[in-house]
Amino acid sequence: MDWSKQNSRALMFLAALVVVWAAVAALRIVPAIVLPTPASVVRAVPKMLQERLLADIGLTLARVLGALAIACVFGIPLGLYLGYRKGVYQVIESPLHALRSVPASALFPLFLIVIGVGEKSIIALAAYPSLLVILANTVSGATLANKRRLYQARLLGLDTFDTITEVLAYEALPNILDGIRTAVSYALMLVIAVEMFIGLSERGLGRSIYEYQSTYRIPETYGAIIIAGIIGILLNAVVSQMERRMLRWLPNVQED
């Protein structure tokens, strides 16, 4: 299935969802406090903009991107190095997988103790599972690198740094981008959850969802949730765009 076809199907599905929603809300099958009409949600948006919606979106996005940046800056080089020195990886493989099994949200109290209450803790908590998933993907991409092609690196006398940056990084690139895609959803999920339930965050989209809900501003609550969803979709689209630009050289499986 090609890309535009997939997109138009997704849009059709969303449109159908809105129609069902409108019908259910109009027929009063469920009370308006549980499900407001789509129109009331749309009407709520200008009000939200007059309040501090944009600042909240900006803050949430900044936290997500900060967490992803940390995850990439540490996860990718470390993953490539571990994929290159498989001996080291074998030693830390099991502890790493054990760490990945611990839900990140369960660790939040620990982060608060170690890092302290504040912005740093939110970003660190979101960075943590993002880093682990990017690390694991990068290592597996680097381990799966074409062995025969690595002969070229040895043949031409490439040092460790050049082998990693000029050969292994490309070999692992599809896996790295896959890892980033998963990390994006982890980071967004955790930032919003932390903003929502932990009062220490000044603001953010999660906080505004929570506040709208607790003051019974239900259309605004839905509006903020939908905006969070749109942010997720857009971040995903950015990763897809990166994949298409950075992996132009990959044989296109769909064409075969």
Partner 1 sequence: MSAPAPSAAPAVEVERVAFSYPARSDNGEGTLYEDFSLEVELGSRFVLMGPSGSGKSTLGRMLARIMTPQAGEVRWSPQFTHRWDVVYLDQHPINSVFPWLTVASNIKYPMKKLGWERSKRQDRMCYLMSLFRMGALADAYPASLSGGELQRLALARCLSWKPQLVILDEPFSALDRKVKAEIIAALGELAARDRMTLVLITHNVSDALALGTRCVVIGRRPVRIISDLEFRATFPREAATPDYDTMQQALIAGIRDGLV
Rounded least distance, CB 164 to partner 1, Å: 14
Q: Which is nearer to partner 1, 101 or 159 (CB)?
A: 159
The one-letter amino acid code at 133 reads V
Rounded least distance, CB 39 to partner 1, Å: 50
Q: Which is nearer to partner 1, 28 or 248 (CB)?
A: 248
CA dihedral over 118, 121, 124, 130, signed as positive or negative: negative
The contact set with partner 1 (CB under 8 A) reads 146, 148-149, 151-152, 154-158, 162, 167, 170, 173, 248-252
Rounded least distance, CB 148 to partner 1, Å: 4
Q: Which is nearer to partner 1, 113 or 250 (CB)?
A: 250
And the tokens for 241? Answer: 């765009």
Rounded least distance, CB 79 to partner 1, Å: 18
CA pair distance 33, 46, nearest whole angstrom: 20
Q: Which is nearer to partner 1, 216 or 256 (CB)?
A: 256
The one-letter amino acid code at 85 reads R
Question: Helix (H, G, I), strand (E, B), or coil: what is residue 198?
Answer: coil
Rounded least distance, CB 251 to partner 1, Å: 4
Query: Do residues 83 and 89 make contact, with C-beta atoms less than 8 angstroms apart?
Result: yes
What DSSP string runs through 202-225? ---HHHHHHHHHHTT-HHHHHHHH
Q: Which is nearer to partner 1, 83 or 223 (CB)?
A: 83
Rounded least distance, CB 249 to partner 1, Å: 4
Q: Which helix (H) or strand (E) holds 231?
A: helix 218-246
Alpha-carbon torsion, ordered 145, 147, 148, 154, to 10 deg: 100
Q: Name the DSSP class of 117.
A: S
Q: Which is nearer to partner 1, 120 or 149 (CB)?
A: 149
And the tokens for 124? Answer: 């660190």
